[in-house]
Structure 1
Amino acid sequence: MAHGIDEVARVAGVSTATVSRALRGLPNVSDSTRERVRSVATQLGYVASPSAASLASGRTMTIGLLTPWVKHWFFANVIEGAERALQSEGFGALLYTFEISRNAPRRRVDPDVLRRRVDGILVVGLPLDPAEVAALVGLGHPMIFVGSGVEGQLTVRLDDLVTGRTATEHLIDLGHRRIGHISGAPDDVTPFSPPAARRRGWLEAMGAAGLSVEPTLEVHGHFDLDGGRDSMRQLLAQRPDVTAVFAASDEMAMGAILAVRELGLRVPQDVSVIGIDGHDLGELVGLTTMAHPAVEEGAAAAALLLTMIAGTSAPADLVYQTRLVRRSSTGPPREGVAHA
């Protein structure tokens, strides 16, 4: 029969608070006392409940996780990595979604739903305005952004500028000179926005190669497959001379490939396509991509947040590099190609 914390405290000769601190690995407990408490707890079959541990430490053992979606590849993988890291340390996640729609304004973040319910906050790919950021900072909890960031807040992110430039340079090196770009939403232009930095990388690579960029070479795919398909149709309608496309996400890139094929064209003979992410399904369609470890990024963000909750000062931004994965969706342009 398992005994309670009171019995463990009585046998070990300490208070119940000391038992809780010792079993949670918290400070202000000597090594000898900690070992004695653990030994007694094992003998009596006592397992501390999460609620009791939370009360003893003054923590909720919960992280607030704010994100637009859980169904898209990047968000799902970051959240999976974060949850794994949190669970390994006895923490849970309180998930709030704020869907970004092209047809309606996003629901605003209300900090009151997190008050006294979380010990820290992870913001995954959710662009926030200054008032929302200030409201979250006002809660007094450590906070980390993943993907989209804001000035003055720790962000775990990709080197999006270099990624966009490298993706475009891959197409240029293959011989392409009319390269379109599928970005996210037209109003997502803040300096700390991944699509804005990826677009700058595209522009830099085109400029360095002496290639002109007209407004008709850029369309917006809203970071989903349907958006990638619709925007690719729009791009080829207004610029039938395009021979290659750099999409700012793999899901948009896969939508673009569908559109090219639906129009009776071939990938890559008529149009080459490259994306960003390393989506699990990319290999099925032969998608060339700039891959990155999203699960690892989520786990790293959660681990950093836990160290900040424990009192460690915030480090500098954690920046991940991407790697070019060459597959069959990119190749040299056909001589004299022009798409009707």
Structure 2
Amino acid sequence: MADLTRKITIYDVAKRANVTIATVSRVINGKDNVSAPTKEIVMQAIEDLNYYPSPIASGLSKRKSQEIGVLVPFFFGEFFLKLLDGIAKELHDFDLILYDATTPEQKKKLIAKVVGENKLDGLVVVSLPVRTDEEINLRKARFPIALIDTMHPSYSSVCFDNTYGAYKAVEYLTGLGHKRIAIISGAIEDPFHFTVASERLKGYKMGLSMANIPINDKYIQINDWSRIGANLITKKLMGMKEPPTAIFCVSDLQAVGALETAREMGFRVPEDLSILGYDNMDFSDYIGLSTMSQPLSIASQLGIELLKAEIDSGINKKEKIILQPALIERATVAPVASL
């Protein structure tokens, strides 16, 4: 196992692989005069020791690479695709390198990789919370880092006020006379330690408290952010002796599931049941879904502006920008019906 208390060098790789330093150098630089078995042994040693050759040692120049890394948890879903599209538009004069951190373990490996290689002009971290051990590693980076849809005190960041957004959603519903308001939340605990679900649940509770409405734990339902999960939860909620008159879903996809099931059960939306989503995805307009909108393109623009400013100045100002969501009124929310 590599000794993490010191920097691994080419000498360590040569010793581990039982070859000369020159052989390791030839493998690193892609030379042909190394046998396949030897190359495999050297590459395994490099992986085992978590060794990344410096740009100078591997023949790269000191000039800027014109490459920006983007570290994301997913390459699918309209939310992430919109953020990535906005980032790409703002970085049209750079080459983008996308890093897909599909698991927490992969995220740590990718952070070690980009820090060790040190070839980027900057790194954008999207949505992924930066954990303490990862921040310690990122301190070694010799390039600027900016965060979008997540925050950390060590870096400039742009994020959304999820708590305020959920609070405004509930305030809207209570203003229409709703008192039995349920929430279909996403997973509170997950491997990446996302905080979106817990922040929106907090806002939901704040909204009820400000309206002097007691919190009914039976109306708080957690699922995996899926449409199918929302189907099942809505069936459970609307089968209660006192079903909710409104359901606040913390994503538009969950709201679609709630809408489907409610109508299948014979409830009219919004006459019998109001349903409010979150995110304002493109399909929400098509189906007339009332929702909370987040300024995704603005977040991408501001996040890249912060990164470029640090690239140009070399100064990490650790700026924090918090964007507020906006209510989009459509056809799935109405004043509470007479009970």
**Both proteins in one fold, TM over 0.5:** yes
Contact 1:198-1:248 within 8 A present in 2 as well: yes
User: Match for 1:73: what amino acid?
Assistant: E
Residue 258 to residue 128, structure 1, CA distance change in 2 (3 Å): farther
Cα deviation for residue 331 of structure 1 reads 0.7
Alignment of 1:214-229 (within 5 A): 214-229=216-231
Q: Distance in 2 between matches of 1:260 and 1:284?
A: 18
Report the CA distance between 1:241 and its aligned residue: 1.5
The change in CA–CA distance for 1:70 and 1:240 in structure 2 (over 3 A counts) is: farther
Write the deviation string for residues 143-171 of structure 1: whole angstroms up to 9, x where unpaired. Answer: 22211323433221122222111100111
The aligned residue for residue 246 of structure 1 is 248
Q: CA deviation at 1:315?
A: 4.8
Counterpart residue number, 1:196: 198
Question: 1 CA distance for matches of 2:241 and 2:182?
Answer: 9
Residues 250 and 277, structure 1, Cα contact 8 Å, conserved in 2: yes
- With over 3 angstroms needed to count, the CA separation of the structure-2 counterparts of 1:269 and 1:196, relative to structure 1, is same
User: Which sits farther off after the overlay, 182-191 or 298-307?
Assistant: 182-191
Cα pair 1:191 1:197 within 8 Å, conserved = no
1:6 alignment counterpart: none
State the partner residue of 1:256: 258
Aligned-partner Cα distance in 2 for 1:155–1:192:
16
Contact 1:169–1:205 (8 Å) recurs in 2 = yes
TM-score, length basis structure 1 = 0.73
Out of 271-280 and 109-118, give the one that drifted further: 109-118
Instruction: Name which of 267, 276, 281 aligns with 2:278.
Output: 276
Counterpart amino acid of residue 99 in structure 1: T
- Say whether residues 1:75 and 2:80 are aligned partners: yes
CA distance in 2, matches of 1:237, 1:151: 45
| Aligned pairs for 1:134-213 within 5 A | 134-187=136-189, 193-213=195-215
Cα deviation, residue 287, structure 1: 0.8
Taking a change above 3 Å as real, the CA distance of residues 149 and 176 of structure 1, as seen in their structure-2 partners, is same
Match of 2:140, as an amino acid? G
Where do 5+ consecutive residues of structure 2 fail to align? 1-59
The alignment covers a number of residue pairs equal to 276
Deviation at 1:118, TM superposition (A): 1.8
Deviations 1:15-54 (A, max 9, x none): xxxxxxxxxxxxxxxxxxxxxxxxxxxxxxxxxxxxxxxx
Query: What is the aligned partner in structure 2 of residue 334 from structure 1?
Result: 337
Residues 191 and 113 of structure 1: CA distance in aligned 2, closer, same or farther (over 3 Å) = closer
Structure 1 CA distance for aligned equivalents of residues 178 and 105 of structure 2:
38
* Paired residue type of 1:331: A
Q: Label 1:324 to 1:127 Cα distance change in 2 as closer, same or farther (>3 A).
A: same
Q: Is the 8 A contact 1:269 1:334 kept in 2?
A: yes
Alignment TM-score, normalising by the size of structure 2: 0.73
Distance 1:118 1:126 in 2: 19
Separation of aligned partners in 2, 1:119 and 1:139:
10
Q: Please say if residues 188 and 198 of structure 2, whose CA atoms lie closer than 8 Å, have aligned partners that are also in contact.
A: no
Alpha-carbon distance in structure 2 between the residues aligned to 1:189 and 1:221: 15
Q: Distance in 1 between matches of 2:287 and 2:192?
A: 32
Cα displacement (A) at 1:204: 0.9
Q: Give, in angstroms, the shift of residue 188 of structure 1.
A: 5.4
- The whole-number CA distance in structure 1 between the counterparts of 2:237 and 2:318 is 42
* CA pair 191-208 structure 1, distance change in 2 beyond 3 A: farther
Match of 2:17 in 1: none
- Give the CA deviation at 1:56: 6.9
The answer to whether the Cα contact below 8 Å between 1:218 and 1:235 also exists between their aligned partners in 2 is no
Q: In the alignment, which of 294, 299, 302 is matched to residue 301 of structure 2?
A: 299
1:97 maps to 2:100: yes
Aligned partner letter, 1:167: A
Provide the C-alpha distance between the structure 1 equivalents of 2:67 and 2:122, rounded to a whole number of angstroms. Answer: 7
**Which residue of the partner structure matches residue 112 of structure 1?**
112
State the match for 1:58 in structure 2: 63
Q: Deviations over 1:104-147 (max 9, x none)?
A: x7644312331323222211112343222332333243222211
Contact conserved, 2:69 with 2:120, CA < 8 A, in 1? yes
The residue identity in structure 2 corresponding to 1:325 is: I
Question: Shift of residue 206 of structure 1?
Answer: 0.2
Q: How much does 1:191 deviate?
A: 10
User: Are 2:319 and 1:323 aligned?
Assistant: no
CA shift for structure 1 position 189? 11
* Runs of 4+ in structure 1 over 6 Å off: 189-192
Counting aligned pairs with the same residue, the percent is 27
Name the Cα RMSD after superposition.
2.6
Residue ranges of structure 1 left out of the alignment (5+ in a row) = 1-54
Match of 1:85 in 2: 90
